[in-house]
Chains A and B, each alone.
Chain A
């Protein structure tokens, strides 16, 4: 299969061919690694692959390329691994081939993404398998004991021994996660949920072995392995939820891995990954590239797009000696910069401190399950102790009052106390919250909403105020032409604009549609573009550059002036476009009774226009980053629970300070790291759905906790009264876990918003 026979773009459900503005020069050689077999490998993140056809098309095309020895696409993680014999081909060509097939690819730094393999998840799964095996096989020996009335005492004891043979190794292996966690808690003089679980496991085994040796009728080998099985399901679900969010966060980081080009002593250019940059390195920064670290311009002059850092839509001009912050995008001309900090120390250091301060406020939040556990642990242990002493001392006490109840028996007292510990063990409690959160986040994940953690969902359910940032959040953060010049002027101006990567030029090209670039047009960074159109000299750019005679409009709107020969210069006005569903989302939030505010760092006129268009009455313009945080703290001091929605580096501190926070997918990584949920795509409506799902998840979790409490209220007295048999324990535990899980699954469907 050759590449050209597969010219059809992407998957029908995938993406179309990339647009002009997406094309960003990336040097893939910096991400090539050599594997154990000596092959060169590259990992790419593939966007748009979603079905068997995609797998076949991508892998088929790559394997047909000479030199490629292996190509494997993981559809779950959307990661593509390509291996080839060293030197056989250029990695850039592979990426180009993928683009031609219609799939967007980004380089992926596997070391940054992998971090460590999920060994904890694997271990939990192994414990789960062992516990499941144990629970099912013990059933084989306990069921006859429950139901065979004519079974002799010897056969019964034999059955108990068989149970012990399976239960003891399985139970001790599967209980390791609980033992470890309980031990580390006890070492620190604390108690957590795993302490009563471990205690119940140890006591049950001791009691059951003693009963087996003494030839007793009831052992709880089956109950304890089943308990471990259910608890491990809850534990595994909870772990997977955290791991998925963590992986997604790492992927965002890895995707933004930037390649850099270092200038050696004799001006030899070397491609490196951003992590390898040392202070003092001289780096080449071509037009369209993002600065990998903080630095100072050495030679050249250009414009920098700092919108990700400051929220300011328009680029700023820089020349030799000016400072460049990591994350700024070079717009017009190649620069040489000298690194003044390593990539990981750049710009974000101050920000990390702000985020930390914000999160201290959030640290006080106690998860629902932990609050339930704090109530549960002392209650159950008191009940177990009362049962033990009641059965031990009760008969003698009754004897004092003249009632003959025989003597207290340590064995009976211990059996009943252990039965109470088993039946009340937090089986349903352990499943109640994680089951709901897994279903809820899974549902949101399919809608393109990434939820960072389970408690993010809990906090989201409690909010009462929504604070929006403007640029990049309510708006797309991209300028759009709003004035309507004559068609011939627009086409002529666009032919000059095509040579520039300035956001205003791009917006102009987008408005004009496809066409040719003016030949010999030249960009002067910070000023504009000059060229010749049909033999007439023309200029496009700042007022002072293209139309020095024209009066200043003084409305502060982003503008370009276009002068063609002796004709009167034309003013082209731009505005930042709102997201298509911004006003619908604001209206939906208001309909649900939330107070909605907007804080913008932009000019009052632009902020007023945006607030008016989406229907927000309370807004402030010209707000500094620190003032955003202050406003959030003000709201919190009033007892409100604000949700902050923002995208820029200037929002990150406010995001961390708010009760809950959300970021659009195009936001800078620092903001995404500070946000609880990340919205992928260009729409805001998923935010409303996320709040709805969070609220129903909270309702389901509370229902589950209520049910668990009810179950314990019924079961505990039965156990304390000595009426519990292993059969009742097994039925009660499994049915309560099933009910809790089924209630969580009710969240699966839900209507579209």
Chain B
């Protein structure tokens, strides 16, 4: 069971990375225009 000492913090660390990524995207304003983002994906850049 000693392996838990390493596995548990590693799991928490991975979860924390996800949390930080979400907080970053929130701060970067990625949720300001959800409708626009859904439509912009359809625009061809190359014409």
Which residues of A pack against B, CB within 8 Å? 51-52, 55-56, 73-77, 122, 125-126, 129-130, 133, 136-137, 140-141, 155, 158, 162, 165-166
Contacts and interface: CB of A to CB of B under 8 A. Distances in A.
A74 B32 contact: yes
Given A74-B32, A75-B36, A76-B34, A137 B43 contact: no
Contact of A74 (B1, B11, B36, B41): B36
Given A130-B19, A140-B8, A125 B43 contact: no
Interface in B1-47: 1, 4, 8, 11-12, 15-16, 18-19, 22-23, 26, 32-36, 39-43
A556 B41 CA distance: 59
Nearest to A161: B8
A286 B3 CA distance: 81
Nearest to A1: B47
Contacts of B33: 74-77
B34 A52 contact: no
Nearest to A75: B36
Contact of B22 (A76, A77, A129): A129
Contacts of A158: 4
Contacts of B15: 133, 136-137
A620 to B, nearest CB: 45
Nearest to A130: B19
Given A136-B15, A162-B12, 8 more contacts: A52-B42, A55-B43, A73-B36, A76-B32, A129-B22, A133-B15, A140-B8, A155-B1
A663 B3 CA distance: 66
A126 B36 contact: no
Contacts of A162: 8, 12
Contacts of A51: 39
A125 B16 contact: no
5 contacts: A52-B41, A73-B36, A74-B32, A76-B33, A129-B19
Contacts of A155: 1, 4
A588 B36 CA distance: 37
Q: By CB atoms of chain A within 10 A, which of B1, B8, B34, B43 has the most?
A: B8
B39 A52 contact: yes
A125 B26 contact: yes
Nearest to B42: A52
Interface of B: 1, 4, 8, 11-12, 15-16, 18-19, 22-23, 26, 32-36, 39-43
Nearest to A155: B1
Given A52-B39, A74-B36, A75-B33, A140 B11 contact: yes
Contacts of B8: 140-141, 162
B42 to A, nearest CB: 4
Nearest to B1: A155
Contacts of A166: 12
A26 B43 CA distance: 32
A133 B36 contact: no
A538 to B, nearest CB: 53
B1 A52 contact: no
A126 B40 contact: no
Contacts of A52: 39-43
> What 5 A-B pairs have minimum CB-CB distances, sorted nearest first?
A75-B36, A52-B39, A52-B42, A133-B19, A75-B35
B19 A55 contact: no
A122 B41 CA distance: 25
B26 A126 contact: yes
A51 B12 CA distance: 41
A158 B1 CA distance: 11
A73 B37 CA distance: 11
A52 B12 CA distance: 40
A56 B42 CA distance: 10
A155 B1 CA distance: 8
A141 B8 CA distance: 8
A405 B12 CA distance: 44
Contacts of A141: 8
Contact of A75 (B1, B18, B39): B39
A56 B40 CA distance: 8
Contacts of A126: 23, 26
A209 B26 CA distance: 33
B39 A137 contact: no
Contacts of B11: 137, 140
Contact of B35 (A76, A125, A129): A76
A693 to B, nearest CB: 22
B26 A122 contact: yes
Contacts of B16: 133
B18 A133 contact: yes
A55 B44 CA distance: 12
A52 B23 CA distance: 28
Contacts of A55: 36, 39-40, 43
B47 to A, nearest CB: 9
Nearest to A60: B43
Nearest to B39: A52
Contacts of B34: 76
A77 B36 CA distance: 9
Contacts of B22: 129
B28 to A, nearest CB: 12
A165 B8 CA distance: 11
Nearest to A162: B8
A74 B32 CA distance: 8
Nearest to B31: A125
A162 B40 CA distance: 44
B3 to A, nearest CB: 12
Nearest to B5: A158
A49 to B, nearest CB: 10
